[in-house]
Each structure stands twice: as C-alpha cells, then as structure tokens.
Structure 1
Amino acid sequence: MQMAIDQWLLKQHASGDHPPTLRFYTWSPVAISLGYHQHRYPDEWKQLSWHGKPIELVRRPSGGRAVLHQGDLTYAVITSGLSGNRMQDYQAICEFLIEGWRSLNVDLHYGQAGRNYIQNPNCFGTATVADLVMSDGAKLIGSAQLRQGNAILQHGSMRLEPDEELFDRVFDNESANLPNLPLSMQGEALIQTVIETLVQSASDCFDIHLESQPLTETEWHAIQATNV
C-alpha cells in the first residue's frame, strides 16, 4: 500500500493534479522491498517470519537493491522542475536530509559503491553515491528514484532501530554495518523527533511552507483501485 501511495502521488503530480509532497511512513507488518529490476534474491526470503508473522516481499516502483523495513523510517519526496542530471537531482533532494541529521549531531556524506554492488542483494550492504553514510562508514539512508516525465519520486529508508538478529538472519551476518545513532530517545519519540527535524529542514533548505494534508476518501479509493 505504501508503494501504491508513492506511485499514485507521482502520477498525480506528473499530470499536474497534485502539489509536490513530502511524506514519512513506517511498515507493518515487517517487509522486504525489492528494487523494480531486482529479480535475484535468496529463496529463503519467501519463508521468513518475525514475531510470528510472515515477512512480506514487496516490489518497489523504483530501482536499487532489497531493503528490510523493520525499525526504519521511510521518507518520500515527489517533486518536479529540477534541472540537473540524475545525480545532481539526487543530491539536491538529499540536502534536507543532510542538514536535518546534522542538526541531530549526525554528520552524513555520500557513499561510494564497491565492485560487488550489483551482486549484493542487500541495499545496505554497499553504499552508492546516492546513499548517505555516517562518519564511521555505517550506511544510514539508502534512496532510490523513479521518474515520470519531469516529475521525480525519490524515497528512501532511514535505519533508526534495526534488530541485529533479524538483520543477520536476512542478510547473512551483516549487522556490523548497522548505524549506532547518538540519540537518547527511542521508539515513537525517536520517529517523531526525526520527522519534525526533517520537516523543518526541508522548509529551510527549499524555502517552502509545508502543510499537512491527509489523503481524502476519494484519493484513498483511487489508490486502492491501483493496488489490486
């Protein structure tokens, strides 16, 4: 459903029927999202469970590698009118993430993909120049894009409180790469702090006024009709 919402918002914005949008969401139940072109992944992912519930496999409309959505916060930006190339547009959008996390005392820089990026099914197993990495090398934010005409959907996962045991089970003992955030709050308090900080950062970086606008009943019906 979250992927359907992102894709619907992109389509509406591309056709001029919806303004630019910034949104944040979490996932329930826990899921692994696969990149649109990702067709190779471990067979055992089809039988994974956590806390007695199956871990769902979900196809993203954007590219990239697999992302485990547990203990993370996802952001989505739908916008248009950017004039750079793909990488320049990535970095223009990521500006609010870098500035927002800096205000939380977390410095981020762009990663560099290793040679094994394509072979690694795990998005967070390597960091590309479109991803944001902490000073100790741990990847905090992995992002992907989808374009429709002049409109762009960029969404990404921020790993706030990932479960090490689950991460190891899914991605074969890669928990050493998990970020260790220097923040005292946890759970909902952490999520709300990050959202509020990034909303303010987006307002400042892009010189915009953001208004909270829940989806209408008509919009929900339209989204659900595309997600059957």
Structure 2
Amino acid sequence: MDVELVKQVWRLIPSLAAAGNVQMAVDRWLLEQHESGKHPPTLRFYTWSPPAISLGCHQKQYPEFWQNLRTNFTGQGDKLDLVRRPSGGRAVLHQGDLTYAVVTSGLEGSRLQVYAKICEFLIQGWRSLGVELNYGQAGRGYIHNPNCFGTATGADLILADGSKLIGSAQLRKGEAILQHGSILLDPHAGLFQEVFGKDAFTPVQLPHNFHLETVIEALIIAACDCFNMETELKPLSEVEWEEILNQC
C-alpha cells in the first residue's frame, strides 16, 4: 500500500519592495534562523526599491564609478544603491526584475546538483506560463565578466534564443541553504547600458508581458509541487523586523 508523504509546511512571506540592504538582511536572517532550527523553510519573492546593483560577496573587481552612479531612471537623479549579497556570483542590476529566495535544508548532492533541485520549480513554473528554460553552458571564463547577466553558467536559466532570464547564487550555513536569484522581466535598456556599457544589454524576449502577480502565483504552485510542501502565508512580525534591521 502506498503511503502518502506528509507535506512539509513552508513559510511564504508576502512579496516585499524595499531597499537592497534591507532585502539582503532579510535573506541573511532567514538563513541564520533556519540553520539554528528556529525557523521553517521559507519561500519569498521581492523587488528592489530604489534600483540597486548587488555585488557577489567575494566580488572585488567592479567599475569605480558604480560607487557614485546617479541615474535619472526615477526622474530625480537618485544615487544607485550598491549592495553586497551574502551569496557569491557577479554584479546584478536590480530594476525591472523579480527576485526569489529559497531557504531550506536537507538537500543532498554537489552545489550544482542542489542548484538543479531548487531551480526545478523555476523551470516548471515558467513552463506553466508557456516559457521553456534551459541551463546555461558558460565555462570558467565567466569570472572575468563583472555582469552576472553577461553570461550564463550551468547554474543559470536561459531562454530558447540563449538570452539569460534567471541568474542565481547560493550560500550554505551548516546544513541550511539560501538560494536567491534575479528574474529579468522588464529591464530598462538605458539604465542597464549606463551601468554595464552600451554593448552589454540583450533584451529578454518573452512571449508577452507578464504581471508580477501572475509569475509569482505560477512559481508558488510549482514550488509546492517540486518541494512536496504547503505554504503558510505569514508576514514578518515587528519583532522579526527589529532583529533584521539591526543587521543593516
């Protein structure tokens, strides 16, 4: 007789728009809490407001002008935030993108195998929207490119035309894993070129414009299937926010 596996309950944090240093503090806090056994596995989606450039935790080389880059994207000449991620990888411009974060544990295998296990919900979710994704093929030469979306490795997901839709990075703390990544939905070409250069921008050719809510809903459904889990929608509490903001 088949025994149905009991589904694990993951925390689903409502979509959040906030500054980059706040978003990274949330992800670090979730990983630390899960690693210490105080917090369940978590799934969340978020956007960066104002736009920001995030650097990989070990990324030392990047253009000096990024530190004082101002953009008219918002119409006010705001300074573009420069934030360091707790995970690795190269620089990502967060504007017109959706970021996902998965915090979990108990996944076995190499780093690339764990990437694939987590990325399956991204592949399945986008397939439900009529978009097929595959893994990138770039070799080690990618480390010389400061732009994360300038090349696609085996940990990245690309469209049929070879353009990169999702770039992900990962951090382990004990048995706990944080994997987060940027989904390029509606980037502003001018801002992208201002940051990475005129030849750096490759437009993402999606079948049609997707609303954030549509994408998030499809990815949540896929995650429930891929991770054999159910979600409990639970915003961050005032006490949790206090702990998180103390890290900023």
TM-score calculated relative to the size of structure 2: 0.87
Selected match of 1:204 from 201, 216, 225: 225
Aligned equivalents of 1:176 and 1:58: distance in 2? 21
- Whether the 8 Å CA contact 2:192–2:201 is kept in 1: the answer is no
SS at the partner of 2:172?
Answer: strand
CA RMSD of aligned residues (A): 1.1
Give the equivalent residue in structure 1 for 2:165: 140
SS at the partner of 2:48?
Answer: coil
| 2:111 is equivalent to residue 90 of structure 1 | no
Runs of 4+ in 1 over 3 A off after TM superposition: none
Indicate the structure with greater strand content. Answer: 2
- Whether the 8 Å CA contact 1:108–1:134 is kept in 2: the answer is yes
Deviation at 1:212, TM superposition (A): 0.8
Deviates more, 1:112-121 or 1:204-213: 112-121
Deviation at 1:44, TM superposition (A): 1.5
Counterparts of residues 128-207 of structure 1 (less than 5 Å)? 128-185=153-210, 190-207=211-228
Give the equivalent residue in structure 1 for 2:27: 6
- Whether the 8 Å CA contact 1:125–1:174 is kept in 2: the answer is no
Q: Deviations over 1:4-26 (max 9, x none)?
A: 00000000000000000000000
Question: Aligned pair count?
Answer: 223
Structure 1 gap segments, 5+ residues each: none
Aligned equivalents of 1:115 and 1:81: distance in 2? 28
Deviation at 1:173, TM superposition (A): 2.1
Query: Are the structure 2 counterparts of residues 16 and 174 from structure 1 closer, same or farther at C-alpha, using a change threshold of 3 Å?
Result: farther
Q: Deviations over 1:160-199 (max 9, x none)?
A: 00001111111112455231111244xxxx1111101100
Q: Deviations over 1:105-128 (max 9, x none)?
A: 111000012453111100011101
Deviation at 1:56, TM superposition (A): 0.8
Selected match of 2:239 from 205, 218, 222: 218
Query: Are the structure 2 counterparts of residues 40 and 73 from structure 1 closer, same or farther at C-alpha, using a change threshold of 3 Å?
Result: same
TM-score calculated relative to the size of structure 1: 0.95
Query: Are the structure 2 counterparts of residues 177 and 114 from structure 1 closer, same or farther at C-alpha, using a change threshold of 3 Å?
Result: farther
Aligned equivalents of 2:203 and 2:115: distance in 1? 23
Deviates more, 1:197-206 or 1:67-76: 197-206
Aligned equivalents of 2:162 and 2:84: distance in 1? 28
Deviates more, 1:91-100 or 1:48-57: 48-57
Give the equivalent residue in structure 2 for 1:19: 40
Counterparts of residues 99-118 of structure 1 (less than 5 Å)? 99-114=124-139, 116-118=141-143
Selected match of 2:101 from 72, 76, 83: 76
SS at the partner of 1:8?
Answer: helix
Aligned equivalents of 2:53 and 2:202: distance in 1? 18
Structure 2 gap segments, 5+ residues each: 1-21
Aligned equivalents of 1:146 and 1:88: distance in 2? 14
- Whether the 8 Å CA contact 1:65–1:123 is kept in 2: the answer is yes
- Whether the 8 Å CA contact 2:150–2:200 is kept in 1: the answer is no
Higher relative contact order (CA 8 A, sep 6+): 2
SS at the partner of 2:229?
Answer: coil
Aligned equivalents of 1:171 and 1:200: distance in 2? 35
